Amino acid sequence: MKFHTQLAAVLISLVLPSVALAQEIDTGDTAWMLTSSALVLFMLLPGLSLFYAGLVRSKNVLSVLMQCFAIACAMSLLWFAVGYSLVFSGEGAWIGNLDKAFLSGITYNSMTGTIPESVFVVFQMTFIMITPALFVGGFAERMNFAAMLMFSVLWGLVVYIPVAHWVWGGGWLADIGLLDFAGGTVVHVTAGVSALVAALVLGNRRGFQQTPITPHSLTLTVVGAGMLWFGWFGFNGGSSLGANGAAGMAMLVTHLSAAAGSLAWMTIEWLRFRKPSVLGIVTGMVAGLGTITPASGFVGPIGGVVIGLCGGTVCYFATQLIRNGLKIDDSLDVFPVHGVGGALGTILAAFFVSAAYGGAGYAEGMAFTSQLGVQVIGVLATGAYAAIVSYALLKLVGLITPLRVDVDTEQQGLDVAQHGEKGYNI
Amino acid sequence: MKFHTQLAAVLISLVLPSVALAQEIDTGDTAWMLTSSALVLFMLLPGLSLFYAGLVRSKNVLSVLMQCFAIACAMSLLWFAVGYSLVFSGEGAWIGNLDKAFLSGITYNSMTGTIPESVFVVFQMTFIMITPALFVGGFAERMNFAAMLMFSVLWGLVVYIPVAHWVWGGGWLADIGLLDFAGGTVVHVTAGVSALVAALVLGNRRGFQQTPITPHSLTLTVVGAGMLWFGWFGFNGGSSLGANGAAGMAMLVTHLSAAAGSLAWMTIEWLRFRKPSVLGIVTGMVAGLGTITPASGFVGPIGGVVIGLCGGTVCYFATQLIRNGLKIDDSLDVFPVHGVGGALGTILAAFFVSAAYGGAGYAEGMAFTSQLGVQVIGVLATGAYAAIVSYALLKLVGLITPLRVDVDTEQQGLDVAQHGEKGYNI
Amino acid sequence: MKFHTQLAAVLISLVLPSVALAQEIDTGDTAWMLTSSALVLFMLLPGLSLFYAGLVRSKNVLSVLMQCFAIACAMSLLWFAVGYSLVFSGEGAWIGNLDKAFLSGITYNSMTGTIPESVFVVFQMTFIMITPALFVGGFAERMNFAAMLMFSVLWGLVVYIPVAHWVWGGGWLADIGLLDFAGGTVVHVTAGVSALVAALVLGNRRGFQQTPITPHSLTLTVVGAGMLWFGWFGFNGGSSLGANGAAGMAMLVTHLSAAAGSLAWMTIEWLRFRKPSVLGIVTGMVAGLGTITPASGFVGPIGGVVIGLCGGTVCYFATQLIRNGLKIDDSLDVFPVHGVGGALGTILAAFFVSAAYGGAGYAEGMAFTSQLGVQVIGVLATGAYAAIVSYALLKLVGLITPLRVDVDTEQQGLDVAQHGEKGYNI
Amino acid sequence: MKLVTAIIRPFKLDDVKDALSAIGVMGMTVSEVKGFGRQKGHTEIYRGAEYAIDFIPKTKIEVAVADDVLDTVIDAIVESAKGNKVGDGKIFVTALDNVVRIRTGETGAEAI
Amino acid sequence: MKLVTAIIRPFKLDDVKDALSAIGVMGMTVSEVKGFGRQKGHTEIYRGAEYAIDFIPKTKIEVAVADDVLDTVIDAIVESAKGNKVGDGKIFVTALDNVVRIRTGETGAEAI
Amino acid sequence: MKLVTAIIRPFKLDDVKDALSAIGVMGMTVSEVKGFGRQKGHTEIYRGAEYAIDFIPKTKIEVAVADDVLDTVIDAIVESAKGNKVGDGKIFVTALDNVVRIRTGETGAEAI
Ligand SMILES: Nc1ncnc2c1ncn2[C@@H]1O[C@H](COP(=O)(O)OP(=O)(O)O)[C@@H](O)[C@H]1O
Ligand SMILES: Nc1ncnc2c1ncn2[C@@H]1O[C@H](COP(=O)(O)OP(=O)(O)O)[C@@H](O)[C@H]1O
Ligand SMILES: Nc1ncnc2c1ncn2[C@@H]1O[C@H](COP(=O)(O)OP(=O)(O)O)[C@@H](O)[C@H]1O
């Protein structure tokens, strides 16, 4: 498979920098990766931040935007300082090395495969930026900003970086053959699980399940949703690291899964309440997108549609279970949508990668059952690791500064109390 | 002309798949087409949906967003199931065949010209998504969601798909040499005409022309307008199917036409009312963009400016005629802006394609008058077909479910009544 | 250096059109430049216009959007008519010639380096569009629309066009070796200085420093900020005119500088007020972006971070000085953020271009001190020229139509009074 | 003088304004409010769950009138705002001790 | 009949509504207002400078009641809205000359 | 006790607040309203057509005051809100039967 070869080439080039330098630049691949990097940034700012901001009450709108923005900036510098190096430099099973700390040695001529290494650095940076921003939805409207920032940076260092190395940096999950094209485990499972843990550690918002806590502007949320869909083309389409058939197919199946997930959620609401809601359709879209993510560069069009339908449906019921069944205030449903979707897609990839369903086919030596086993291991290992470390980090941070704002701040709203601003003066 | 050759190559490749497979991928072309696909998606979600949403009253803002979103998803699956195949597979004058239904046979290695077929599928899919979303503006604030969705899907099947085949899939309008680079007829004329028909069949909104029905947020509309301009670069620039001189010229003339259309509309308002409005300038922009669309890959810079000026001016007066003259409540002026603009641009293309005006020159065997004849036929055929079939489809759908919401729902607003949500809780 | 060679090739191609035509198109470079052009457009509309619109009171939101939009359109036609030609055609030290007025001679086959000339025209057009839109922030909420438009067009002609020729069109600043990759002097210094002059000539808004003039929607501003970051990737990344190592490095350092500038501003606010504000973090981002702009294609990652930290910090204190110290109502802080940032970055480029700091290295015959001298000359010359000519133009325009709206209009708001519209009817 | 405060359905505002203008009322002040009463609220959907919303958007109109036109004004409002469905709204009448026109300093009935 | 107008903290609205419903009040009208009083405002940051904001978001509740339940209503509001901090709000009581139910034309206490 | 309700131009709010503070008024409640009166509205443009808008943004200030300061308060408002143009606004005075401070339960003039 062309893209397998290409990924191999990339991996080789990482291990043997001299080989990398020797490879010629492909301007088309570079153009697409520059674009993809921009798209993933856009997916986060303003995309995700807006999607989330619309869902909270107007007294907390800026706090959500601020949390996403500050995480984006802090993660960028973390990636610059040690992240890139620890993930992509060195061959350890558990973690890379510090040879490229502070991006040392990366010049105008450094190459990663067919693209400049600088572009590879930026593209991968956007992933560490967006992952912790996802879990902001779990503790929205009540977490203390200082604690939030401290937790996120530590999480990036101790959760994201190792897991990304395991899966994409040549670590143990790569070795056993885990298929995770664009971050079902690295991004969605880790973020989803950590959001749930944070929601449990912090406790529910005051009034949760007593008075309706309604979104202050679904218009913003829908705008953010459109941006997410658009940006996800770079997230998944860029994960082939070039402008090739895998990128094209990733974009196609990503799109189909988003559409199918949306319609699945819409249909369920329509049947249950006779009222299909716009928040429902966009939540189904996110579910479809999260679910296809790990599978996107391996499956074919039919796989894309089926995965989207499964994503929309399963995430719907997962949301009901967490929110209304277990009464856990994972405020913006990060775990049931991202965590469950990411895990589901990682597992479904084991089926739909099969050439029989139009997928790219199993890697040599792999068959359905062996692949399924690997996928389950991948989900469980990343999920369990993220849960345990997140819990420990929250407890640690809680020793330094309060995790949760006080009652007055929560009632007044975080915007004025923590950031000295109001979202609207209309 | 380079791009003529290229289009020919594409057409050949469609007819002879083996040739297609034989052609080498061009990563630069692929990069641009991946990007263009993302841009056209963005043009619709959030672009167009936001442009429209800002123009309605706040009690209906979500209904507009929901309609655009649901259409986008449903059309994607329609395209997957039969649309792509019926448009681009087979050589019929009227309609393609079902050989590629469910995108069967499209693999990681399939090619269309110099780009992966998956990319071609996505790019073209974005066109079927946006076209019915355009006519949402015709029946805004009063159409029943279920009827809307049913009508749109049938319309995609019975109007868009055949017409796209006629013009772009090697059908009879392609055969007689219709110049429609990016959808003057296929997109704008069909959508504009159908919006008008729907407005007439559904009747005016309660209070139309009695009390002012003012936009609830022109800020949103202007944001949407900026997104439309941006996305239109992919719409027109991507229609050359590669990163070449035609793409560049299409982008240049598209830009100039948007600017000229904006200033034309602004100037007329300034002269008439001494107050140039922001809604005016962005409507002129849409008029300029819609008008250049069919001509964009054929004309030169001067053609772009003149077409934009004509578009802004003619669409201005068309809007006055429909809205204030005929008192037809084509609520967001889809027909006078898109329908009239698309038709006008298709006809103006016959002039400005001439090398004398810096255009790409007439195809072999064509001259001004013959080309003009073809263009007029194209406009009339697609317009008449869309009008008649839309009328029939609306009557059909009306037998199954009410086309229009009841009075209470209209007064309360569609958001709460049909979707169980409010746009704002600020 | 690869990109130096490339820039040289471009310059040669401009001087010798025959050479240009001889060069083969690179589809990858073309794809990236098409994308970059779209990104810079997006950075302005909706990006910058939204960033600014959120900061004014709701009675003036449309006026800001309208000003940005009208400038964008008018500058496009100015570029078409004479701008492109005067900047890029001919070898004068002070100004180009009119050989390419009305883009004459630019066909589907014209090339500039490895990309179609049409693409080069559009990319450069986006720069003349955004530059005067930047200074809208200086006179927001009080300038008469007619005067604003007249001033902006004259400014484009008499300030932007010559300065762009000096720096990028082979004029005297290019000759002495000024490093200004993407517009530290051409864009940010000229716009910043002119905003300050306009603020002084028009006088402060009524109530400035007496009653708080609070942003009507920081949500919009943050959304606009995210769009600016995204679009800036095209602004700086596209300034290498191809998909190459310079583009990649430009994107990487641009990103790092944005993140560093954001965190610098946030930290200062946190230390001073215990409340890091979202407006603070995004202002720091703009400062970081503006500061890196001139240096972006020359410096390495460490340079990017340090320049960002300097930008965020220096622009913070510059803002305090102008606003609270000198009590000048440069309403949206264009001078302290763009003017100061652009100047600072132009000067810092002299250090960080050094290969010792991971930069691209000095051009032949240049060393630190000589480069620093050139950079200082560049800043002073462009700043002084912009200040003097802006002052003269404002006085001239003031003879024709009032520069400032009357008291009633200012109190009622420009939206209703000048544009006949309201931003919101919610 | 009396202050007549009417809570009506938002889409009736134009009708009421016209009815009041027709009987010579020269001014009024309007605001958006949320009402709670016998009229049933609606349900909303949030992420697949349904919940009840009690407050309903209403419009409040305040009109200061001279005593002699009070009944005419009330009738005009009742006629133009009525839809014969629960939730049509209420009118509250309070006594006004005084009215002042800021521009002129006039007081009492002339200031209305 | 009396019109009871209460200015309360926004997050107390649900509690007050429940308290009033509990004592049989069938209707009320609510709006968003900004209050200025003894309660200190807050500071806001704008581009690195800090300034004081005096107005604080409050919620206004208007309830028309029959004379006999006035005290119960006031007590219910006081109990449910009280937080024992400056800024809890005020209740204003004015006499109502009349109440009209638009739907039926009923007047006086039955219209409430 | 009286309730003084003033309808003023929005941009006069700060002046009025300062004037009231200056004479010792400790509290007030403010809301955004739309006014209709002798002051001409404006025209708006919609897609190339012009139409008239009658309602004008106004600000409503409510101040509860003791009887003895009523005139001072009215004067302060009139002085600070006056612009000598049609549309400067009105002041309405109603009698207050009672005022209650929620925090303390105090009633009457001390609760103001
Ligand atoms: N006792 C009351 N005090 C204040 N406002 C009331 C009262 N009762 C009703 N309202 C207002 O009048 C509106 C309509 O009342 P409702 O009981 O729903 O119907 P109806 O007017 O037909 O009796 C309510 O939404 C509320 O705004
Ligand atoms: N004299 C007054 N007239 C009108 N409203 C008032 C008056 N005094 C206070 N208020 C309103 O009551 C709110 C609470 O008053 P405040 O003085 O802050 O605390 P408290 O209610 O504890 O005395 C204010 O924000 C304002 O809305
Ligand atoms: N009869 C009235 N009842 C209630 N509000 C009124 C009345 N007349 C005027 N107003 C309010 O006062 C505002 C100013 O009134 P207007 O007649 O325009 O000017 P003026 O205050 O100079 O007489 C109006 O916009 C409206 O809000």
Q: What is the pLDDT of residues C144-183, one digit of tens each?
A: 999 999 999 999 999 999 999 999 999 999 999 999 999 9
Structure tokens at A424: 């609207």
- The answer to whether residue C2 scores a pLDDT higher than 80 is no
* 8 Å CB contact of B420 and D43: yes
Q: Is F24 in the pocket of ligand 2 (CB under 6 A)?
A: no
Rounded to the nearest 10 degrees, what angle do helices F70-81 and F13-22 cross at? 150
DSSP letter at E51 equals E
For a ligand 2 pocket test, name from F3, F17, F20, F29 the mutation site with the most ligand atoms within 8 angstroms of its C-beta. F29
A→D contacts (Cβ < 8 Å), by residue, are 212, 214-215, 265, 268-269, 272-273, 275, 277, 279-280, 283, 316, 319-320, 323-324, 333
Q: What mean pLDDT is predicted for residues A71-93?
A: 97
Band the pLDDT of C7: cuts 50, 70, 90.
very low
Chain A CB contacts of D49 below 8 Å: 320, 323-324
Q: What pLDDT shows up at residue D52?
A: 93
For residue range B373-392, what is the model confidence (pLDDT) as tens digits?
999 999 999 999 999 999 99
Q: What pLDDT shows up at residue C426?
A: 83
Query: Which one of the ligands is nearest to D54 CA?
Result: 1
- The answer to whether residue C14 scores a pLDDT higher than 50 is no
Q: What pLDDT shows up at residue D49?
A: 87
Non-local CB neighbours of B331 within 8 Å, separated by 6+ positions: B55, B56, B137, B138, B139, B140, B141, B199, B205
Place of tokens 């709670």: D36
* 8 Å CB contact of B248 and C118: yes
Q: What pLDDT shows up at residue B352?
A: 98
pLDDT averaged over every residue in chain B: 94
- The answer to whether residue B340 scores a pLDDT higher than 60 is yes
Maximum pairwise Cα distance, chain D: 59
Band the pLDDT of B306: cuts 50, 70, 90.
very high
Residue A228 parent element (H or E): helix A218-237
For a ligand 3 pocket test, name from D17, D25, D28 the mutation site with the most ligand atoms within 8 angstroms of its C-beta. D28
Place of tokens 């989803």: A192
Residue closest via CA to ligand 2's atom 9 equals F27
What radius of gyration do chain F's Cα atoms show? Answer: 17
What radius of gyration do chain C's Cα atoms show? Answer: 20
Non-local CB neighbours of B13 within 8 Å, separated by 6+ positions: B19, B20, B23, B111, B112, B113
* 8 Å CB contact of D44 and B211: no
- The answer to whether residue A76 scores a pLDDT higher than 60 is yes
Pick E96's closest partner by Cβ from D36, D60, D93: D93
Q: Is E37 in the pocket of ligand 2 (CB under 6 A)?
A: yes
Q: What mean pLDDT is predicted for residues B141-159?
A: 98
The torsion angle over the Cα atoms of residues A174, A178, A180 and A184, rounded to 10 degrees, is -110
For residue range B387-422, what is the model confidence (pLDDT) as tens digits?
999 999 999 999 999 999 999 999 999 999 999 999
For residue range C240-292, what is the model confidence (pLDDT) as tens digits?
999 999 999 999 999 999 999 999 999 999 999 999 999 999 999 999 999 99
Pick C41's closest partner by Cβ from B215, B229, B252: B229
Q: Which residue of E has its CA nearest to C274?
A: E45
* 8 Å CB contact of D46 and A272: no
Å from CA of E94 to ligand 3 middle: 22
The nearest CA of chain F is from the CA of D24 a distance in Å of 11
For residue range F38-95, what is the model confidence (pLDDT) as tens digits?
999 999 999 988 999 999 999 999 999 999 999 999 999 999 999 999 999 999 999 9
Å from CA of F32 to ligand 3 middle: 14
Place of tokens 């583009």: C247
For a ligand 2 pocket test, name from E58, E88, E90, E92 the mutation site with the most ligand atoms within 8 angstroms of its C-beta. E90
For residue range B351-381, what is the model confidence (pLDDT) as tens digits?
999 999 999 999 999 999 999 999 999 999 9
Structure tokens at E49: 């400078």
Q: Is E40 in the pocket of ligand 1 (CB under 6 A)?
A: no
Residue closest via CA to ligand 2's atom 8 equals F27
Q: What pLDDT shows up at residue B20?
A: 41
Q: Is E109 in the pocket of ligand 1 (CB under 6 A)?
A: no
Phi, psi angles (nearest 5°) of residue F49: -120, 155
CA separation for the pair C299, C306 (Å, rounded): 11
The chains found to touch E (3+ Cβ pairs under 8 angstroms) are A, C, D, F
Q: What mean pLDDT is predicted for residues C203-209?
A: 96
Å from CA of E35 to ligand 2 middle: 6
C-beta of residue A239 within 8 angstroms of C-beta of residue A181: yes
The nearest CA of chain A is from the CA of D47 a distance in Å of 6
- The answer to whether residue B14 scores a pLDDT higher than 80 is no
Q: By percentage, how much of chain A surpasses pLDDT 90?
A: 93
Q: What pLDDT shows up at residue A21?
A: 44
* 8 Å CB contact of F45 and C420: yes
C-beta of residue D86 within 8 angstroms of C-beta of residue D39: yes
Chain E CB contacts of D83 below 8 Å: 103
Q: What pLDDT shows up at residue C413?
A: 97
Q: Is F87 in the pocket of ligand 3 (CB under 6 A)?
A: yes
Low-confidence ranges of chain D (pLDDT < 50): none
Query: Which one of the ligands is nearest to D30 CA?
Result: 3
Query: Which one of the ligands is nearest to D63 CA?
Result: 3
C→F contacts (Cβ < 8 Å), by residue, are 207, 210-211, 411-412, 416-417, 419-422
ipTM higher than threshold 0.85: yes
- The answer to whether residue A77 scores a pLDDT higher than 90 is yes
Q: What pLDDT shows up at residue F49?
A: 87
CA separation for the pair C367, C365 (Å, rounded): 7
Q: Is E89 in the pocket of ligand 2 (CB under 6 A)?
A: yes
DSSP letter at C217 equals B
The nearest CA of chain A is from the CA of B167 a distance in Å of 24
- The type of residue at A274 is R
DSSP letter at C101 equals G
Q: Which residues of chain F from 43 to 102 reach within 8 Å of chain C, CB to CB?
A: 43-45, 50
* 8 Å CB contact of C280 and E48: yes
Mutate to test the interface with C, among E32, E36, E43, E47 (most CBs of C within 10 A): E47
- The answer to whether residue B18 scores a pLDDT higher than 60 is no
* 8 Å CB contact of E45 and A419: yes
Q: What pLDDT shows up at residue A426?
A: 83
- The answer to whether residue E110 scores a pLDDT higher than 70 is yes
Q: What is the number of the ligand 3 atom nearest to the C-alpha of D102? A: 21
For residue range C47-99, what is the model confidence (pLDDT) as tens digits?
999 999 999 999 999 999 999 999 999 999 999 999 999 999 999 999 999 99
- Bridge partners of residue F92, in order along the sequence: D99, F5
Å from CA of F52 to ligand 3 middle: 18
Q: Is E81 in the pocket of ligand 1 (CB under 6 A)?
A: no
* 8 Å CB contact of E45 and C277: yes
For residue range C18-45, what is the model confidence (pLDDT) as tens digits?
334 447 999 999 999 999 999 999 999 9
Mutate to test the interface with A, among C249, C305, C306, C362 (most CBs of A within 10 A): C249
Å from CA of D91 to ligand 1 middle: 9
Q: What is the DSSP string of chain D?
A: -EEEEEEE-GGGHHHHHHHHHHTT---EEEEEEEEESSS--EEEEETTEEEEE--EEEEEEEEEE-GGGHHHHHHHHHHHH--SSTT--EEEEEE-SEEEETTT--BGGGG-
Q: Is F8 in the pocket of ligand 3 (CB under 6 A)?
A: no
Q: What is the DSSP string of A50-89?
A: HHHHHHS-GGGHHHHHHHHHHHHHHHHHHIIIIIHHHHHS
Q: Is D35 in the pocket of ligand 1 (CB under 6 A)?
A: yes
Q: Is the dihedral of CA A97, A100, A103, A106 positive or negative?
A: negative
The nearest CA of chain C is from the CA of F51 a distance in Å of 10
CA separation for the pair A206, E14 (Å, rounded): 13
The chains found to touch B (3+ Cβ pairs under 8 angstroms) are A, C, D, F
Q: By percentage, how much of chain C surpasses pLDDT 70?
A: 95
The nearest CA of chain E is from the CA of A210 a distance in Å of 10
CA separation for the pair A120, A124 (Å, rounded): 6
Q: Is F20 in the pocket of ligand 2 (CB under 6 A)?
A: no
- The answer to whether residue A1 scores a pLDDT higher than 50 is no
Q: What pLDDT shows up at residue C73?
A: 98
- Bridge partners of residue D65, in order along the sequence: D2
Q: What pLDDT shows up at residue F48?
A: 84
Q: What pLDDT shows up at residue B23?
A: 80
